[in-house]
């Protein structure tokens, strides 16, 4: 590992990319500590100290602790992630977006433009909602003018983060948006280590073993795939005869990625959010819709499984895959081209998605189970599973692959064996 780091640092272009990424992350962390105008950061932080286990604690995790400070980057990059998911799902239902997706680079540029517009709208609505919520809880004192200033500031912070993420993608290492989310999650690592060290004997002994096992299982499942053999027949293209060949179609176990977990968390956030505005429902929500409650965990696991199948169906179209294979002269040995191939791919993908969906559900609810039944602390258990581990492992693997490709282009030995 040290040898490839040394080789990477000696390559001027790769060194510039690493330094540029580090500079953007430093700017991001600085903005996470700059409070919004007219905000009493101490009052907001006191409010979060009593609601760390609620959905606000999860949202604060994705903002890198900026939400508890109500800083410039309090919304984090999640409005852009939500907008991207919404636009991606709308491409299935809206024919115009589906046509743009097939137009190549120009179409994707137009879709990205729509995503940015939707990000601004979602960020403004979310900023206004947070401001009203904190004002109702006596954690924020703001008149109409100050409220407008806060909404504009937080929305601008999200737009700036969106631009910084795009700059990392273009001039840095890895996917910029994912790198920013990873940086937010890693900010809770020191607190988790401190909580583990100060925890009970069982937590101190078993926490490292459980954490390593979960990370290893996430890597194993995320990299797992079913390879469908594909055979291409010889055919005439113009005046040339193409040679047939054998290859495979990789079907990933977790084709939906971490999106189902984000969907489930966002949907389950509605009851807790509504209860903040309607005190009469507070008791019912606290009994059934707080993280760690058995009802909450059961609903969360069920939603994750449901959304995994749904988003996999959005990502993978067996009919389209079968048509593409037939168009280019490919077929699955033993399966007739056309509808039989589509039915076969659909059956394989359905069976393959089940273990991935169950694994996602288990990893997502693991922290709450350790807190409830094994007495682990809130801070340390947050690092064991859920969206944080899935995102962290996925982003780390993707970044390593990109650095591997950069090293291989310069004839250095890769480090992914």
pLDDT in tens, 348-364: 999 999 999 999 888 88
- Band of residue 379 on the pLDDT scale cut at 50, 70, 90: low
The model's pTM is 0.78
Q: What integer best gives the mean pLDDT of the chain?
A: 80
* pLDDT at residue number 380: 65
Burial of 394 (0-12, 13-18, 19+ CB in 10 A): buried
Q: What are phi and psi of 18, to 5 degrees?
A: -65, -45
* pLDDT at residue number 345: 92
Distance (Å, whole) CA 108 – CA 272 = 36
Give the sign of the dihedral formed by CA 70, CA 120, CA 162, CA 145: negative
Assign 231 to helix, strand or coil.
strand
H-run or E-run covering 288: helix 282-288
Q: What is the pLDDT of residues 131-157, one digit of tens each?
A: 887 887 777 777 888 888 889 999 999
Mean pLDDT score, 111-136:
87
* pLDDT at residue number 24: 92
Higher-confidence position of 312 and 409: 312
* pLDDT at residue number 358: 92
Cα angle value 15/161/367 (rounded, 5°): 90
* pLDDT at residue number 296: 83
Distance (Å, whole) CA 198 – CA 192 = 10
Query: What is the full DSSP assignment across 168-186?
Result: HHHHSSS-HHHHHHHHHHH
307 has pLDDT over 80:
yes
For 411, the token pair is 């004839």
Higher-confidence position of 372 and 300: 300
1-187: CATH, from 3.40.50.1820, 3.30.420.40, 1.10.3370.10, 3.20.20.70: 1.10.3370.10
Distance (Å, whole) CA 268 – CA 206 = 30
Q: What is the pLDDT of residues 223-282, one digit of tens each?
A: 888 898 888 876 655 566 566 678 888 898 888 877 788 778 777 776 766 666 666 766
**Distance of CA 21 to CAs 13, 177, 320, 372, 399, Å?**
12, 12, 38, 39, 12
Distance (Å, whole) CA 375 – CA 377 = 6
At the top level of CATH, the class of 189-385 is mainly alpha
Higher-confidence position of 281 and 400: 400
CATH 1.10.3370.10 domain locations along the chain: 1-187, 189-385
- Longest CA–CA span in the chain (Å) reads 78
Mean pLDDT score, 41-57:
68
Of the listed ranges 131-140, 163-172, 311-320, the least confidently predicted one is 131-140
Asked whether the beta carbons of 106 and 116 are under 8 A apart, the reply is no
Of the listed ranges 52-61, 84-93, 213-222, 305-314, the least confidently predicted one is 52-61
Asked whether the beta carbons of 87 and 115 are under 8 A apart, the reply is yes
Q: Calculate Rg over the CA atoms of the chain.
A: 24
Cα angle value 176/8/182 (rounded, 5°): 25
Q: Which DSSP state fits 36?
A: P
* pLDDT at residue number 77: 86
């Amino acid at each position: 590992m040290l040898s490839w780091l040394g080789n990477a640092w000696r390559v001027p272009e790769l060194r510039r990319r690493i330094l540029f990424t580090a500079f953007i992350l430093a700017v991001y962390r600085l903005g996470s500590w700059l409070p919004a105008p007219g905000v009493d950061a101490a009052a907001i932080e006191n409010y979060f100290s009593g609601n760390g286990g609620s959905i606000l604690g999860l949202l604060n995790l994705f903002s890198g602790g900026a939400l508890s400070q109500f800083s410039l980057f309090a919304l984090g990059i999640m409005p852009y992630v939500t907008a991207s998911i919404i636009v991606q799902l709308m491409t299935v239902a809206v024919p115009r977006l589906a046509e743009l997706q097939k137009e190549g680079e120009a179409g994707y540029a137009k879709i990205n433009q729509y995503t940015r517009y939707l990000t601004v709208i979602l960020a403004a609505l979310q900023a206004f909602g947070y401001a009203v919520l904190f004002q109702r809880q006596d954690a924020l004192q703001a008149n109409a003018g100050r409220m407008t200033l806060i909404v504009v500031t937080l929305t601008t912070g999200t737009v700036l983060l969106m631009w910084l993420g795009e700059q990392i993608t273009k001039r840095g290492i890895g996917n910029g948006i994912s790198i920013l989310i990873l940086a937010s999650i890693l900010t809770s690592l020191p607190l988790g280590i401190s909580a583990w060290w100060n925890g009970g004997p069982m937590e101190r002994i078993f926490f490292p073993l459980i954490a390593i096992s979960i990370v290893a299982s996430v890597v194993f499942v995320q990299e797992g795939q079913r390879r469908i053999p594909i055979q291409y027949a010889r055919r005439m293209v113009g005046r040339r005869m193409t040679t047939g060949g054998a290859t495979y179609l990789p079907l990933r176990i977790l084709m939906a990625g971490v999106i189902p977990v984000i969907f489930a968390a966002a949907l389950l956030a509605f009851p807790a959010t509504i209860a903040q505005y309607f005190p009469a429902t507070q008791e019912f929500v606290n009994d059934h819709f707080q993280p760690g409650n058995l009802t909450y965990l059961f609903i969360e696991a069920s939603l994750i499984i449901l959304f995994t199948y749904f988003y996999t169906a959005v990502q993978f179209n067996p009919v389209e895959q079968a048509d593409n294979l037939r168009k280019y002269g490919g077929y699955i040995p033993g399966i007739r081209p056309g509808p039989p191939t589509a039915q076969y791919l659909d059956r394989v993908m359905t069976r393959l998605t089940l273990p991935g969906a169950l694994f996602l559900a288990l990893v997502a609810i693991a922290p709450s189970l350790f807190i409830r039944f094994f007495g682990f602390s809130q801070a340390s258990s947050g690092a064991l599973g859920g969206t944080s581990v899935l995102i962290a492992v996925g982003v780390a693997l993707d970044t390593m692959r990109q650095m591997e490709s950069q090293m291989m282009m310069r004839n250095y030995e890769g480090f992914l064996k």
